[in-house]
C-alpha cells in the first residue's frame, strides 16, 4: 500500500522551506514551462507580496514530502459586476505521485478552497496536450477560451 497524500493549505514560507521544492519546480519546468518566457524561476518575494495582499492562496500535496501544489488567485471580475472567481496560477503534481490520485485530490481541494474564499468559478489553464488538459474535461471543466502568447520584450 502506498503513502497517503495529505492536501493542506500552506504559506509561501512553508513552500520555501520544503526540501522537495527544488525538485518539484524542476519537474514543473520540464513539463509545463512556456519557452518564450524563459526558464522557470519562482520569485518568492512576489509570491509573498501576493499572499500578504490576500490574493494568493496555496495548497500543498504532501506524501510525506511535498509532491504537488496549487496556487490560487482570487479576485473580482469588473465586467461581471465584481463576481469573484479563482484562477489557478500554478497546478502541478510530481509524475510519481499521480498514480495514487494525488492530482485529483489536489484539484478537488482547490475547488473547495476557491469556494470557501467566495469564488463562484475556478479557471484553470493547462499546457496543450498535457495530462492536465486531458483530465480537466473528465473532471467537469469546460473549455471556454484559448490562450495566445506573443513575446513583447
pLDDT digits (tens, 9 = 90+) for 129-149: 988 999 999 999 999 998 899
pLDDT tens digits for 52-64?
999 999 999 998 9
Q: Which residue ranges form the domains of the chain, and what is each CATH number?
A: 6-138 (3.40.630.30)
Instruction: Note the pLDDT of residue 2.
Output: 60
What is the phi-psi region of residue 140: left when phi exceeds 0, alpha when psi lies from -120 to 50, beta otherwise? left
Residue with cell 498514480: 99
Query: What DSSP element (H or E) covers 89?
Result: strand 83-93
Which cell numbers in the block locate residue 4? Answer: 497517503
- Between 1 and 81, the more confident residue is 81
Within 13 Å and on the Cβ side, how many CA atoms surround 98? Answer: 9
Q: What is the DSSP letter of 5?
A: P
Please say whether the beta carbons of 62 and 8 come within 8 A. yes
Percent of the chain's residues with pLDDT above 90: 88
Residue 1 pLDDT exceeds 60? no
Q: For 75-99, give one letter per residue: b (16+ CB within 10 A) or e.
A: eeeeeeeeeebbbbbbbbbbeebbe
Quick one: pLDDT band at residue 153, thresholds 50, 70, 90? confident
Q: What is the mean pLDDT of the chain?
A: 94
Phi, psi of 90 (to 5 degrees): -145, 145
Compute the average pLDDT of residues 124-132: 91
Mean pLDDT value across residues 61-82: 94
Across the range 63-81, mean pLDDT stands at 95
The model's pLDDT over 15-62, given as tens digits with 9 standing for 90+, comes to 999 999 999 999 999 999 999 999 999 999 999 999 999 999 999 999
Distance CA 16, CA 34 (A): 22
The phi and psi torsions of 117 (rounded to 5 degrees) equal: -85, 5
Query: What's the CA gap between 43 and 28, in Å, rounded?
Result: 15
pLDDT of residue 100: 85
Amino acid at each position: 500500500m502506498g503513502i497517503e497524500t495529505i492536501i493542506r493549505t500552506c504559506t509561501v514560507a512553508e513552500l520555501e522551506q520544503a526540501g522537495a521544492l527544488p525538485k518539484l519546480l524542476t519537474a514543473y519546468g520540464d513539463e509545463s514551462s512556456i519557452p518564450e518566457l524563459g526558464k522557470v524561476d519562482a520569485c518568492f518575494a512576489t509570491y509573498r507580496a501576493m499572499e500578504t495582499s490576500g490574493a494568493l492562496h496555496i495548497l500543498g500535496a504532501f506524501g510525506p514530502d511535498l509532491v504537488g501544489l496549487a496556487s490560487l488567485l482570487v479576485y473580482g471580475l469588473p465586467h461581471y459586476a465584481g463576481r469573484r472567481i479563482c484562477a489557478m496560477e500554478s497546478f502541478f503534481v510530481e509524475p510519481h505521485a499521480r498514480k495514487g490520485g494525488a492530482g485529483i485530490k489536489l484539484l478537488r481541494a482547490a475547488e473547495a478552497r476557491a469556494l470557501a474564499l467566495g469564488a463562484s468559478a475556478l479557471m484553470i489553464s493547462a499546457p496543450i496536450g498535457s495530462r492536465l488538459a486531458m483530465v480537466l474535461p473528465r473532471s467537469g471543466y469546460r473549455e471556454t477560451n484559448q490562450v495566445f502568447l506573443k513575446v513583447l520584450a
